[in-house]
Structures are given as C-alpha cells and as structure tokens.
Amino acid sequence: MLDKLSSSLKETIRKIAKAKRIDKQTVDEIVRDIQRALIQADVKIALVKEISSRIRERSLKEKLVLNPREHVIKVVYEELINIIGRGVEVPLAAQKIMMVGLHGTGKTSSCAKLARYYQKKGLKPAVICADVYRPAAAEQLRQLCEKIGVPFYDGANLPLPEREKGVMGIVNAGVKEFEKYDVKIIDTAGRHALEKDMIKEIEDIKKAINPEQRFLVLDASIGQQASVQAHALTMQLESQA
C-alpha cells in the first residue's frame, strides 16, 4: 500500500516538473492526483480535504521565490510532510524499549532490526523475549539474535516456579542479566485485539521496569486503523495510570 502511494506521488512530482506552465488547471489536476493516491492509501478524507485546499491555496497565492514548478513541488512536499509527520528521533542512549502490537505485525522482526541499528551505532543492545504464549516465539527471536550477534534472554536459566510466574519474572530477570548492556529491547506476545490482558501486561512491565520507549508495531497496510489502535492504546494506558 505504501509502495503504491510512494510511486503515485513520485509520478505526480514528475508531472509537475514536466508541466509547461503552472496555472489553476494544472494545480487542480495535481491536487486530484494527490487526492486519488491518498484515498487509495486509506488516508482519512478530512485530511485529504485539508491538504488539497492548502496545496491549492499556497501553490497559486504564495509569493514566488523559486520558479513556479519548483514552488509547487516544495508546497506539495511540505504539505505531505505536514500530514504524514516527521517521525520520532530514537535517542542514541541507554534505554529500555518495549515492543507491543497485534499478532504478526512484525514485533519480533523489529526487535532484531532495532538491535542491529543500535549495534551499528556503537551501542550494546540485548534482547529479552517476553512472549511465553507461542511455543516457537523464543526460538524465532533466538535465531534472529544469533544472526546479528546480539545476546538474547528468554528465562531459560530460571527455576521453573519463577518461569511459571510468566512474563514478569522473565522481564525482571532479563533486565538484571543485561545490566551492563545499553539498550534492552523487550519483545512481547501479540494479541488478536487490544484486549484487557494485553493492556495489563504492558502496564505491569511499565510498572516493573519503566521502559523509556514503548513502540506500537503496525502492519504498513493497516490504513486508518493505525490511528484507531494508537489512540485506543494511549487512552487505555492513560486511564489506568
């Protein structure tokens, strides 16, 4: 979905660059192309309307400092960044990161990607598997960590009663085990929906080890559901805080 959005937008930029002149008709055509691309990518209609009118307004009325084509490209770029957002800078510092999200969204893969990122930046990452529900979860993460040479903990050294206490025993022991590591990444189990037990688990981990970052991992094709999930999670966590 995002690949398609990106290629449609690139095509629009090419169209602007090749336009013979920039007049109301050209701008309307460009705005229509952008609307089509955004709607296909399941962007909220209200946002599509907002960006359309801002691009129209700024392209035709703003005082030009660049040539007209470059001006429109700049406006389109700035307005897209405005709605898509600039992203969050992940600090290059010692921290605990907790990955949460629904089933199969890429939490475990992202743990390894993040670990690799920090490793390349010269920090010492380590990964803790707090998914005790899916039998192959720990093995999957272990293999990924082995590939990149990052230490991995799943509570295998804990006495059985401790391990049977579930996720919290493993997370606490893992954080202790990796005391000397800079970045501790905690993988959690996926859920079918934002169920109460998922929120409770996040809350419990938050209380026990206070992770500086909590990442909600989403499938890129999720569209407007992304904001629904992020809001639901934030609201529930805040209401329980």
Ligand X SMILES: Nc1nc2c(ncn2[C@@H]2O[C@H](COP(=O)(O)OP(=O)(O)OP(=O)(O)O)[C@@H](O)[C@H]2O)c(=O)[nH]1
Q: Name the site residues for ligand X (rule: CB under 6 A).
A: 101, 103-109, 131, 134, 137, 190, 217
Cα-only R_g, the chain: 23
| Residue 105 sits in the site that holds Mg ion (CB under 5 A) | no
Spatial separation of the C-alpha atoms in residues 55 and 34, rounded to whole Å: 10
Q: Which is nearer to Mg ion, 22 or 186 (CB)?
A: 186
Smallest distance from ligand X to CB 219, Å: 8
| Site for Mg ion contains 26 (CB under 5 A) | no
The token pair that represents 84 in the structure block: 């898509």
Nearer to ligand X, 36 or 103 (CB): 103
Contact criterion met (CB below 8 Å) for 71 and 64? yes
Residue 105 binds: one of ligand X, Mg ion, none (C-beta under 5 to 8 A by kind): ligand X
Place of tokens 């000397």: 180
Cβ atoms of residues 133 and 93 within 8 Å: no
Minimal distance in Å, beta carbon 226 to Mg ion? 19
Nearest residue relative to ligand X (C-beta): 190
Q: What is the DSSP letter of 102?
A: B
Residue 110 found at the interface with Mg ion (CB under 5 A) = no
- Rounded least distance, CB 215 to ligand X, Å: 11
Shortest distance (Å) from residue 131 CB to ligand X: 6
Question: In the complex with ligand X, which residue's Cβ is closer, 52 or 108?
Answer: 108
Distance between CA atoms of residues 100 and 12, nearest Å? 36
Q: What would the two tokens of residue 43 be?
A: 């962007």
Task: Find all residues with CB under 8 Å of 112, minimum gap 6, and list them.
Answer: 127, 141, 144, 145, 147, 148, 150
CA gap 205, 188 in Å, rounded = 10
d(CA 9, CA 27): 14
Residue 108 binds Mg ion, judged by CB under 5 A:
yes
Q: Which stretch binds Mg ion (CB under 5 A): 32-40, 51-59, 102-110, 148-156?
A: 102-110
Q: Which is nearer to ligand X, 91 or 104 (CB)?
A: 104
Tell me how far, at minimum, the Cβ of 236 lies from ligand X, in Å. 19
- By CB under 5 A, name the binding residues for Mg ion: 107-108
